[in-house]
């Protein structure tokens, strides 16, 4: 007697492959990350003292968290500065990444080489490149802006023109800050460019052909076809940029957490900082999902 198994739909087959590809991460997380993560929660509520045989724990309750919020003079300040810097970077990285991906999606000579060049910051030592760019490029591009302390990167003439055009000071300040962070923005754009490029290449050319037959202009095709179909990738890239920016070794708060543990020997407070930092990142990502997920368009199968 032959038993016929129910045939799987295309959606279920793809879902099964999704589980297959995520299984290594899930197994690795359970084997290597779950136990240390749970142990770190224990450390956050204890005073940890290193000994020759390992470490000793002394329960202090919420004292580590109180120290981080009320005693440590730098945590909240660095966190605020880091968050503001990331808020400046996100729009700039998204715009630059999408613009670069759109150019790299066109047909031209040397396209492969151009794609490799844009991906180079991920392959090479990003910190060294950043320092060289800052020293060699922006050292001679400093202009003084009246009403502000110190010097900032940019063109004095352009800044003066923007003020004469009565452009809001907040917008001018955003542009100035973004220009000063160009090396960091370029360095953070490699993966988003790759994601956008994959999305652009996945749009069926037949949609553009139909739009052209119907008399749609390139501008209309962009807003009616390109932008809606890659809108999920905007959400993906924003989340990626947030996570990458908050966890990069160049992040001042990550450095502060490291120094608290290994230079000041305050391991419990350091772990408390880490969990508070993790919670803040999770809240920010949830807010981004709540706001943007409603505006994302998913192409039906």
Confidence (pLDDT) at 141: 43
What are the pLDDT tens digits along the chain (301 aa)?
556 656 777 778 788 888 999 999 999 999 999 999 999 999 999 998 888 888 889 999 999 999 999 999 899 999 998 888 888 788 889 999 999 999 998 888 888 888 888 777 666 545 555 555 445 444 444 444 444 444 444 456 666 666 677 677 766 666 666 666 777 788 888 899 999 999 999 888 899 999 999 898 888 998 889 998 999 999 999 999 999 888 887 788 988 998 998 888 899 999 999 999 999 999 999 999 888 888 887 766 5
Dihedral class, residue 252 (left if φ above 0, else alpha if ψ from -120 to 50, else beta): alpha
Sorted by sequence, the CB contacts under 8 Å of residue 20 that are 6+ apart come out as: none
What domains sit in the chain, N to C, each tagged with a CATH number? 60-138+150-294 (1.10.3720.10)
């Amino acid at each position: 007697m032959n038993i016929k198994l129910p045939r799987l739909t295309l959606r279920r087959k793809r879902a099964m492959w999704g589980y297959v590809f995520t299984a290594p991460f899930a197994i690795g997380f359970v084997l290597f990350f779950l136990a240390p993560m749970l142990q770190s929660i224990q450390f956050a509520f204890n005073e940890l003292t290193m000994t020759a045989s390992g470490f000793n724990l002394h329960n202090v309750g919420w004292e580590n968290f109180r120290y981080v919020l009320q005693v440590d003079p730098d945590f909240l300040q660095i966190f605020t500065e880091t968050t503001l810097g990331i808020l400046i970077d996100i729009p700039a990285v998204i715009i630059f990444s999408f613009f670069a991906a759109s150019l790299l999606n066109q047909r031209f000579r040397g396209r492969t080489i151009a794609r490799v060049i844009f991906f180079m910051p991920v392959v090479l030592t990003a910190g060294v490149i950043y320092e060289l760019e800052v020293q060699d490029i922006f050292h001679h591009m400093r202009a003084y802006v009246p009403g502000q302390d110190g010097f900032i990167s940019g063109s004095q003439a352009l800044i003066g023109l923007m003020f004469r055009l009565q452009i809001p000071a907040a917008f001018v300040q955003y542009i100035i800050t973004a220009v000063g962070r160009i090396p960091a923005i370029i360095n953070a754009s490699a993966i988003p460019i790759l994601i956008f490029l994959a999305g652009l290449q996945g749009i069926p050319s037949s949609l553009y052909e139909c739009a052209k037959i119907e008399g749609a202009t390139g501008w209309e095709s962009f807003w009616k076809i390109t932008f809606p179909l890659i809108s999920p990738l905007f959400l993906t890239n924003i989340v990626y940029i947030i996570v990458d920016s908050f966890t990069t070794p160049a992040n001042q708060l990550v450095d502060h957490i490291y120094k608290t543990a290994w230079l000041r020997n305050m391991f419990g407070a350091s772990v408390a900082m880490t969990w508070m930092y993790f919670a803040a990142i999770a809240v920010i990502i949830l807010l981004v999902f709540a706001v943007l997920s409603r505006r994302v368009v998913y192409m039906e199968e």
